[in-house]
């Protein structure tokens, strides 16, 4: 079995890279960034990927998307804070890396995977007494969630479930966050009580 690897979404890498340029002073406050088309060419990605990167930076108040003007750098301080919060996740990243290795031995080491998942959950979310063993489901190919993000679907609000991982082919994405967009052929790893499992399964089984 090919070892699974953890990948950082491309749009997040771009957001971090632009923040580092702003934090270093290479790009100054008030400066207008290149348009999405030019940025997509510079980073060799689609305009949609750039849009998602800008959404992160706008949420963190690093930049501001102004209709008719473009993308304006808003705060070097917020860029530094964003980078610091990203760096503070190193301990969690170590656990994610260990979890990735354990997934490659899933049949023999299920008990160890659950222990590592518990550690990740303890770092990512407040402890909840109603959490149960992580559940894994395959998203149906005709599900209405395909093409939509976790945030757009309001998964926790609609199901009560906390998504802790996405398994796609040989990749494992841990704590995908609200900007992750479902594309099909994914298995979702989540936690919740028995009623949550039913709501989550029903929600993701809805057809387009």
Select the more confidently predicted residue: 182 or 98: 182
DSSP code string of 39-64: HHHHHTS-HHHHHHHHHHHHHTTSEE
**CB neighbours of 177 closer than 8 A, spacing ≥ 6?**
150, 151
Domains in the chain and their CATH numbers?
9-87 (1.10.10.10), 90-204 (3.30.70.1450)
Phi and psi dihedrals of 14, rounded to 5? -65, -40
Burial-class residue 124 by CB neighbours within 10 Å (0-12, 13-18, 19+): middle
User: Residue 61 — left, alpha, or beta (φ > 0 → left; ψ -120 to 50 → alpha)?
Assistant: left
pLDDT score of 78 more than 50: yes
pLDDT at residue 91 greater than cutoff 50: no
- Lookup result for tokens 């599900």: 143
- Check whether 75 has a pLDDT greater than 90: yes
| pLDDT of the residue at 155 | 92
Q: Supply the Cα-derived Rg of the chain in whole angstroms.
A: 19
Q: Are strands 186-191 and 135-138 parallel, antiparallel or unpaired?
A: antiparallel
Check: pTM over 0.85? Answer yes or no.
Answer: no
Query: Measured between alpha carbons, how far is 62 from 64 in angstroms, rounded to an integer?
Result: 7
23-59 residue pLDDT tens: 999 999 999 988 888 888 888 999 899 999 999 899 9
Average pLDDT over residues 152-169: 89
Q: Are 52 and 11 in contact (CB under 8 A)?
A: yes
State mean pLDDT over 177-202: 87
> How confident is the model over 129-143, as pLDDT tens digits?
444 578 888 888 889
Q: Per-residue pLDDT tens for 109-134? A: 566 666 666 666 665 555 444 445 78
For the chain, the average pLDDT equals 80
Cα separations in angstroms, 99 against 14, 110, 118: 25, 11, 11
Q: Is 151 helix (H, G, I), strand (E, B) or coil?
A: helix
Backbone angles phi, psi at 16, to 5 degrees: -65, -45
pLDDT of residue 4 exceeding 50, the answer is no
- Residue 144's pLDDT is 92
């Amino acid at each position: 079995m090919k070892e699974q690897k953890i990948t950082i979404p491309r749009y997040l890498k771009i957001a971090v890279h632009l923040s580092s340029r702003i934090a270093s002073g290479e790009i100054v406050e008030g400066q207008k960034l290149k348009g999405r088309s030019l940025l997509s060419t510079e980073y060799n990605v689609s305009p949609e990927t750039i849009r998602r990167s800008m959404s992160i930076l706008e949420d963190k108040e690093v930049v501001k998307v102004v209709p008719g003007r473009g993308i304006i750098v808003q705060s070097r301080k917020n860029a530094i804070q964003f980078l610091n919060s990203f760096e503070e996740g190193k301990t969690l990243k170590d656990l994610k890396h260990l979890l990735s290795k354990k997934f490659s031995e899933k049949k023999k080491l299920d008990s160890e995977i659950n222990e590592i998942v518990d550690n990740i959950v303890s770092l990512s979310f407040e402890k909840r007494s109603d959490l149960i063993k992580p559940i894994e489901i395959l998203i149906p190919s005709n599900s209405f969630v395909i093409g939509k993000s976790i945030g757009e679907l309001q998964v926790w609000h609609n199901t009560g479930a906390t998504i802790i991982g996405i398994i796609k082919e040989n990749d494992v994405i841990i704590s995908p966050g609200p900007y992750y967009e479902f594309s099909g052929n994914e298995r979702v790893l989540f936690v919740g009580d028995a009623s949550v499992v039913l709501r989550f399964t029903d929600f993701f089984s809805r057809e387009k």
